[in-house]
Amino acid sequence: MLQIEKLKHQNSNNFFLMAGPCAIEGEDMALQIAEKILTITNKLQIPFIFKGSYRKANRSKGSSFTGIGDEKALKILEKVGKEFDIPTVTDIHESAEAAMAAAYVDVLQIPAFLCRQTDLLIAAAATGKVVNVKKGQFLSAGSMKFAVDKIKDSGNDRVMLTDRGNTFGYQDLIVDYRGLPEMQSFGVPVIMDCTHSLQQPNQSSGVTGGKPELITTIAKAAIAVGADGLFIETHPDPANAKSDGANMLNLALLEELLIKLIRVRQAII
């Protein structure tokens, strides 16, 4: 069973990393990405959780890629976890999905748009799994205390919060770093989503844009503020990824970025 405490204290000099492709596109790619990230994080002594969405429920266009099939994708996530002995995380969108996904992964993630859905939070809590709730782009950091309370009041104190920026106008997001320590005051690990916070949603094309060139900037600032963990979507070929390629980090750049972030972490301890 995944222990949050181990993520926070396994190596006092490092943050933990939640990373992987936006969506599970196939078994070979998922295994290749997981193996590459694990090789890097083992070398750098960074606790690692593999991330992959088994289904994308929130798409601008009805024709956008949503997944390869729920059971097929969840079994791939399960295989990644078992083959590399690492925890895995995926999103859930409706209450009925909580128990289904919990049978395959270690962490259930609540998407930002759904962070106020009481039934969904309670269903996730009831599985006993770690629940990672993404802060809504439309909410203050302080408002996330109610999400934490809903889960803990359901008998599950294994909660994490992830910041992914705040809505700024119609097609941009900004990050208010004051929110990270505020959410940490609720007694839970706080993660910075370094890729979704750079999205440019609601583009006229129906495909979300992004500014991946600023991933390093977002990540450095988060570590400097004291984030417990980082969330980074990464892919060996973002331009041809089936989902959210516009704001993903090229996998070839991950190790260099993490080395820089470790230096920042060491400088503030």
pLDDT at 10: 55
- Kindly indicate the confidence band of residue 203, based on its pLDDT and cuts at 50, 70 and 90: low
For residues 265 and 269, give the distance between their C-alpha atoms in angstroms, rounded to a whole number. 6
Instruction: Specify the pLDDT at position 61.
Output: 58
**With 90 as the cut, is the pLDDT of residue 247 above it?**
no
Name the pairing type of β-strands 229-235 and 88-91. Answer: unpaired
Tell me the C-alpha distance between 98 and 126, whole Å. Answer: 8
Residue 59 has a pLDDT of: 53
Residues 60-111: pLDDT tens digits? 556 567 679 999 999 999 999 999 999 999 999 999 999 999 999 999 999 9
Domain architecture of the chain: domains with CATH: 4-268 (3.20.20.70)
CA distance 16 to 132: 14
**Residue 33 CB partners (closer than 8 Å, separation 6+):** 20, 21, 234, 235, 236, 251
Average pLDDT, the chain: 92
pTM of the model: 0.93
89-93, 121-125, 156-160, 236-240: which range is least confident on average? 236-240
CA distance 250 to 138: 28
Cβ proximity of 31 and 83 under 8 Å: yes
Are 231 and 244 within 8 A, CB to CB? no
Please state which of the ranges 24-28, 105-109, 208-212, 235-239 shows the lowest mean pLDDT: 208-212
> What's the rounded mean pLDDT across residues 143-149?
98
* Share of residues in the chain with pLDDT > 70 (%): 92
Which pLDDT score is estimated for 60? 56
Which residues lie below 8 Å from residue 190, measured CB to CB, with a gap of 6+? 160, 161, 162, 163, 180, 183, 184, 227, 228, 229
- pLDDT recorded at residue 161: 98
- Say yes or no to pLDDT of 147 above 80: yes
Name the residue among 141, 142, 123, 143 with its Cα closest to residue 131.
123
Instruction: Give me the amino acid identity at 220.
Output: K
Q: Which residue has the tokens 């980074």?
A: 232
Q: Is the pLDDT of residue 29 over 90?
A: yes
Q: pLDDT digit string (tens) for 165-192?
A: 999 988 889 999 999 999 999 999 999 9
User: What is the reported pLDDT for 62?
Assistant: 61
| Alpha-carbon span 74 to 23, nearest angstrom | 11
Q: Which residue has the higher pLDDT, 70 or 203?
A: 70
Residue 201 binned pLDDT confidence (cut-offs 50, 70, 90): confident
The pLDDT of residue 8 is 62
